[in-house]
Structure 1
Amino acid sequence: LKEVVSEKTAGLMLTNPNTLGLFEEDITEMAEIVHDVGGLLYYDGANANAIMGKSRPGDMGFDVIHLNLHKTFGTPHGGGGPGSGPVGVKEELVKFLPKPLVEKEEDRYYFNHDMPNSIGKVRSYYGNFGVVVKAYAYLLALGAKGVERVSEDAVLNANYLKEKLKEYYELPYDRVCKHEFVLSGKRQKEGKVATLDIAKRLLDFEVHPPTIYFPLIVEEALMVEPTETETVETLNQFIDTMIQIAKEAEENPEVVQEAPHNTVVSRLDEATAARKPKLRWKSEE
């Protein structure tokens, strides 16, 4: 990092824990390196459910943070959203925020437009209001101790899965993880079963496949993020399913290579689906 930053460095965007699910233990030193050249450190809150109530990005040295309400705070994640990402900054950056800001005077809330250093008004500055309200209700329902418990359960669940599966799949980074970890299907790929095949086979067990082929630094990556909401029963079901697929990949690879077998449609042409998506249903009549 020291070798690539300079006075031209405006900022660095990181998430902590990182995409491997590992906590960046050198984060304060990284923050100092960026700050020493006049840059800012920006926190991607995608993995915030691993640290809630445990660690604060501001204490790590971050200057700006966005929170993914649709990932961390109980609002819908699947089906395309809607997402919401409120942004918070340290005190010295408040004057640059988009205006108006909501402020409070005694018992009255009001819009403050008197911000001469603001970058100005941005489009849709109310954000996805319904998503924000859901997140607020979620936080009120949990309370401070409940929010901390969310992170504890998310981390516990991820480490439980990791320990149970590392015998059957490659684990490139074998250390205590946070809310997620990354397996590799490299061993299965040597037997002609790709990570995509494993993901498709999971569908036969009515299991939503994890993110695959990401992060790019892990060959045949399987990113597993159980979150805090799974019970030990569903975690064990996932473990048993993944072990069965690993054994099938060795003993009967065709079953995995030709999956899924039990879905309404089999494998789609994913390249065509991405380039020529059909976004609404049309009657064939």
Structure 2
Amino acid sequence: MFTDSHCHLTFPELASDFDAVRAAMAAAQVTRALCISTTMEEFPDVQALAARHDGLWASAGVHPDSEDVHEPTEDQLVAASQLPKVVAIGETGLDYYQMEERKGGRSVADLAWQRDRFRTHIRAARRAGLPLVIHTRASSDDTLTILKEEGEQGGAGSAGGVFHCFTETREVARAALDLGFYVSLSGIVTFKSARELQEVAAMVPEDRLLIETDSPYLAPVPYRGKTNSPAYVPYVAAKVAELRGVDVARIAQVTSDNFTRLFPKVSV
């Protein structure tokens, strides 16, 4: 019934009790999930996990905030994309959040390696014929600019993809939609303080909407502050349904249909 379009089941918080996580997913009617790669070192475990289990799929890529890790070439990403159950490239994108505190006082100019990595992933996705999983934090202008410069404007030959765990403004959401991307909402949409994000949840066209947990992080209310799990994605669906004035079953259906449309390899 429900699909979690973005989670990290190989992270220790969930991998250490994987059988219980799967049981909880089944009890919550969460039948499918996309397991996300954040480094190429992690990717073999992500792909192997998806390959072993029905209802799980994998992405191949390096998170923009991952440093001192293997830097993949286009060829390496394309090769990874050809493995069983790999349906997306990413997560990739840009993250300029708290540069002074978290990145040693570096400037945007000092993060050119992030932009180079992002371009590599975009080009690999186009070659592989797979969609991108986009992470953007405090960097939406550059994220959108690079996508446009690399030809990602929704036309023929574009990789397309999803802006995951969306936390930006209505204007950024509209710009992403105009480029042909989907928008995925996480447990943040259930937070009382997330009023602008709740407006985004109400305005995204039904056929471009996804839901996710980004677990083990960002658990929705009523589990905020606890370890998140794909079993909690129905709480995201329920809040989105409330904001859009529809039944939660409708959100479950359309987001699952959108997942299949965006990631067509899941039905192969």
For the criterion TM > 0.5, the same-fold answer is no
Larger radius of gyration: 1
In the superposition, the TM-score normalised over structure 1's length comes to 0.23
In the superposition, the TM-score normalised over structure 2's length comes to 0.24
User: Which structure has more helix as a fraction of its residues?
Assistant: 2
